[in-house]
Amino acid sequence: MIKTIIVDDEPLALEILESYIHQIKDLLLIAKCSNAIEANTIIREQKIDLIFLDIEMPVLRGTDFIKSLQDPPQVIFTTAYPEFAVEGFELNALDYLLKPISFDRFLKAINKFKETELKETQSKDFIFVKSDKKLVKLNFNEIVYIEGMKDYVIIHTSQSRIITLQTMKSLEEKLNKDNFVRIHRSYILNFDHINAIHGNEIDVIFKSQTKSIPIGNNYKEELDAMIERKKL
165-201 pLDDT, tens per residue?
Answer: 988 988 888 888 788 999 999 999 999 999 999 989 9
**What does the alpha-carbon distance between residue 225 and residue 24 come to, in Å, rounded to a whole number?**
11
> What's the distance, CA 83 to chain centroid?
30
For residue 84, the tally of other CB atoms under 10 A from its CB is 19
What is the structure's pLDDT at 230?
76
Q: Which of 169, 178, 173 is nearest to 122 (CA)?
A: 178
How much is the pLDDT for 115?
Answer: 87
Residues 146-174 pLDDT 10s: 999 888 999 999 888 999 998 898 888 88
pLDDT band for 121, please (50, 70, 90 cuts): low
Decide if 79 contacts 55 (C-beta within 8 A). yes
In this predicted structure, the answer to whether residue 65 has a pLDDT above a threshold of 90 is yes
